[in-house]
Structure 1
Amino acid sequence: MRKIRGGALAWVFYDWANSAFATTVMAGFFPLFFKQYWSAGVEATESTFHLGMTNSLASLIIVCLAPLLGSIADQAGAKKGFLLFFTSMGIVMTGALYLVGQGSWMMALTLYGLGILGFSGGVIFYDSLLVSVAEEKDYDRLSALGFGVGYLGGGLLFAFDVVMTLYPEFFGLSGTAEAVRLSFITVAIWWGLFSIPVFLFVKEPKKKCGEGSHLLAGFRQLLSTLRKLRQLRMTFLFLLAYWLYIDGVDTIVRMAVDYGLSIGFDANNLMTALLITQFVGFPAAILFGRLGARRGPRQGIMLAIFVYLMILLWAYRMDSVWEFYALAVAIGLVQGGIQSLSRSLYARLIPRDQAAEFFGFYNMLGKFAVVFGPLLMGWVGVITGDARIAILSVAILFVAGALLLSRVDVVEGEAAARSFAAG
């Protein structure tokens, strides 16, 4: 990494910190433990509905709040303050899951939903600090390093928690249920401990805004941004493309385990595959950062989209566990790369002094994608009665996203962003 500012590593460590929630809680233990422990005695279809509604509601709240909160943070110079608030919320709610008893599905969902709000809200302001810790030429590499370190950190803690659930007696625990509950405590501690550097060492430029005017100023800036997006043509076009292809990425992340179960694979095999994705994702994300720095982030994203299309075709035809493992490797190779290069490309296409506000829109689209993608897959599955066709339908999102991305002129977009910042 060349000439990165002193707060860069502190910024990266937040990805190491919060990825524990994304991996161990969201993708790993909560969905399984919710159905088997907290929803004991509840019909499987009903518990699935409860979980799906909670995910959608939490995402919808962030969709509504993200742009406004980003505007307020820019006006008040309060990105780190908002990051601290949402991080604290996520940590407390995750740790509190340990206290929820068997059968208390409503309490578990409430804490889980608030944890998602903390995680997702924090990401808005974490992403927006990228422009404060790096020069433009280093966006690709630093963004990729963040995602790569996140995969490694999340994977290490998840691996420890998986071992703890497989051998609870070795850790002095009464059984698997206690081990899973304790894993939520480990996530809270991990998240809190490794978040400390970003608050201590990342410097955020302060802005002056009249007392009591932050909310009103935030509303005015939000309306202004909506007008600007109509003028920042390449930024707007990229957001549309991002919304489509990241919808496909998030759908695969959220639905891969469900798809594996639906075609008869064992849950332990699926957890192992998730671990494989995490550890492959670490070096792959960093390599994609280098690719973005040399060949341009748009080309790197296009390559990742092509790989995802091949993954979907393979998933449609696979019938053995080793193929699922192979797909886990393939997903790990591109998942971090497409996320990191999207973040760094977007950072090039926005005014630097309004980063939190514009990243609010960016994260809003990402969260809305989580609502739409699984709905498409579920709808196709109901219509066709075939889970394989349902997973293949996700290809529509990648193809449409790639077509729009091919029309994004990065040079023109960067020039327009600089012009707005100067004016």
Structure 2
Amino acid sequence: MKNKKQVYAWALYDWANSAFATTILATVLPIFYKDVAASGIPDHLATSYWGYTQTIGMLIIAILSPILGAMADYSRSKRLFLKVFAYLGMIGTGLLYFVGEGDYILASLFFILGSIGFSGGNVFYDSFLPDISDKNKMDYVSALGFAAGYLGGGLLLLINLIMISKPQLFGLSSTLAATKISFVSVAVWWFIFSLPAFKTLPSPDSQHTHLTLKKYVKAGFKRLATTFRNIRRYRELWKFLLAFWVYNDGIGTIIRMATIYGREIGIGQTDLIGALLLTQFVGIPCALLFGKLGEKIGTKKGIFIALMIYLMITIRGYYMTTAFDFWLLAGLVGLVQGGAQALSRSLYGSMVPENRTAEFFGFYGISSKFAAITGPFLFALVGQLTESSRLGILAVASFFIIGIILLSRVDIEKGRSEALK
């Protein structure tokens, strides 16, 4: 590792902002959205509206990402923009405290604000990986970040689960009050544990600090088009990106839609939060194990294993009826979620030319945002048209089937050789 202090600060940011992923994105807010914010409308519509909310948020960040990438690159201020988007996410998260019954539009708006901050910050966060890690340690460092995220996000989720289940222990009057306080806790947690990254991550000086917004917009989209053409010259890297876009959309849809889907079919709040907590703590050792597995059997094979398990999860999810089913599937997601994402990030990094790391990692972050739009929209649309989300979860299986087929056609060693030319 180049600089252990920077590596640990980088991983700690994952610990910090993963509280948004667990409490807000995956667990507590989806339940609150259906039971409180969207109270009074049919269950399947509440689920669909949540899916559309996810889609809108990802569409906005996808459109903004080329501009943000240009601002970060030309100003050399990745750390500054990481701060800006983190603070935006914290504010959006804290504002959820003020959402009441029937305020599903307000809940959607505040969530989208928080989601833009979360995802926008991750564009800059991911781009730091080549700066802080040697190439032969990327698997481990990438997995370390995911493991820290699982631990940090899981720990706060555990605290929030206890607070929501036993509000009187915290001096709160009701479960609803505890739920709203849990939103504030995420913002505070995110702020405190982001401070080392804000202080420690590298932020080199630049000669391009005074460009206008119009020039950043022009530069961002021009560079996006240029990078698109450049990446296509690296045939195997391009083939991997296509596969990643597809299967990562499936992974993201499960993360974003599983809890509200479980709530729609009648699973209780305590089981939903508890099962997602299981996902977090199973994911801690498994993310690290997948990092080691990638070193031992090959990164591509490790991803294959994860995707096959995801395919099984979606098919079983279609038939899910009991809380036990949800707990079982949550455990399986924890087994592979961090590993699949960490290995994908490091595999991509291993096929990127050294002189194009910032450019290509920026494209990786931007393009994955566009790819993440389809899954939640498809889930929501199928649920709305059929008045049941079961076919929606089954439709997600197609992302893993297609992703596996596309990944099987990628020659990793050839891709790494192409990167050296």
Q: TM-score, normalised by structure 1?
A: 0.90
Cα RMSD of the aligned pairs, angstroms, is: 2.5
CA contact 1:69–1:360 (8 Å) conserved in 2: no
Q: Distance in 2 between matches of 1:314 and 1:114?
A: 33
Letter in 2 for 1:327: L
Q: Distance in 2 between matches of 1:412 and 1:418?
A: 10
Letter in 2 for 1:184: F
1:153 alignment counterpart: 152
Please tell me whether residue 340 in structure 1 is matched to residue 342 in structure 2: yes
TM-aligned CA distance change 1:23 to 1:353, over 3 Å: farther
- 5+ residue gaps, structure 1, are none
Aligned pairs (5 A) from 1:99-118 = 99-118=98-117
2:170 alignment counterpart: 171
Q: Distance in 2 between matches of 1:392 and 1:211?
A: 50
2:397 alignment counterpart: 395
CA deviation profile, 1:221-255 (whole Å, cap 9, x unmatched): 33321220221222211111001111121222223
2:37 alignment counterpart: 38
TM-aligned CA distance change 1:417 to 1:78, over 3 Å: farther
- 5+ residue gaps, structure 2, are none
CA contact 1:74–1:354 (8 Å) conserved in 2: no
TM-aligned CA distance change 1:391 to 1:45, over 3 Å: closer
CA contact 1:152–1:279 (8 Å) conserved in 2: yes
1:57 alignment counterpart: 56
Deviates more, 1:73-82 or 1:121-130: 73-82
Deviates more, 1:217-226 or 1:158-167: 217-226
2:245 alignment counterpart: 243
Residue aligned with 2:403, SS: helix
1:327 alignment counterpart: 329
Q: Distance in 2 between matches of 1:316 and 1:52?
A: 17
Letter in 1 for 2:246: L
Q: Distance in 2 between matches of 1:398 and 1:253?
A: 14
CA contact 1:237–1:405 (8 Å) conserved in 2: yes
1:375 alignment counterpart: 377
CA deviation profile, 1:61-87 (whole Å, cap 9, x unmatched): 111121332133222212112111101
CA contact 2:144–2:288 (8 Å) conserved in 1: yes
CA contact 1:129–1:204 (8 Å) conserved in 2: no
Shift of 1:49: 4.9
Letter in 2 for 1:298: K
Q: Distance in 2 between matches of 1:100 and 1:388?
A: 29
2:418 alignment counterpart: 416
Letter in 1 for 2:340: I
Deviates more, 1:386-395 or 1:237-246: 386-395
Letter in 2 for 1:371: I
2:296 alignment counterpart: 294
Aligned pairs (5 A) from 1:4-403 = 5-41=4-40, 44=43, 47-209=46-208, 211-212=210-211, 215=216, 216-378=218-380, 388-403=390-405
Deviates more, 1:70-79 or 1:189-198: 70-79
CA deviation profile, 1:275-331 (whole Å, cap 9, x unmatched): 111110111001001111223221111111112222234334444432321221111
Q: Distance in 2 between matches of 1:371 and 1:210?
A: 32
Shift of 1:219: 4.4
Q: TM-score, normalised by structure 2?
A: 0.91
Q: Distance in 1 between matches of 2:197 and 2:109?
A: 28
Count of equivalent residues: 418
CA contact 2:54–2:376 (8 Å) conserved in 1: no
TM-aligned CA distance change 1:104 to 1:393, over 3 Å: closer
Q: Distance in 2 between matches of 1:350 and 1:218?
A: 20
TM-aligned CA distance change 1:293 to 1:395, over 3 Å: same
Letter in 1 for 2:195: I
Shift of 1:212: 2.3
TM-aligned CA distance change 1:34 to 1:414, over 3 Å: same
Instruction: State the identity %.
Output: 45
Shift of 1:54: 2.6
CA contact 1:68–1:357 (8 Å) conserved in 2: no
Q: Distance in 2 between matches of 1:45 and 1:317?
A: 17
Q: Distance in 2 between matches of 1:102 and 1:259?
A: 20
CA deviation profile, 1:331-365 (whole Å, cap 9, x unmatched): 10001100111111112222445444433432334
CA contact 2:31–2:259 (8 Å) conserved in 1: no
CA contact 2:15–2:148 (8 Å) conserved in 1: yes
CA deviation profile, 1:95-141 (whole Å, cap 9, x unmatched): 22223454444333322211110000001000000011100001111
Residue aligned with 1:6, SS: helix
TM-aligned CA distance change 1:392 to 1:45, over 3 Å: closer
CA contact 1:68–1:222 (8 Å) conserved in 2: no
TM-aligned CA distance change 1:36 to 1:339, over 3 Å: same
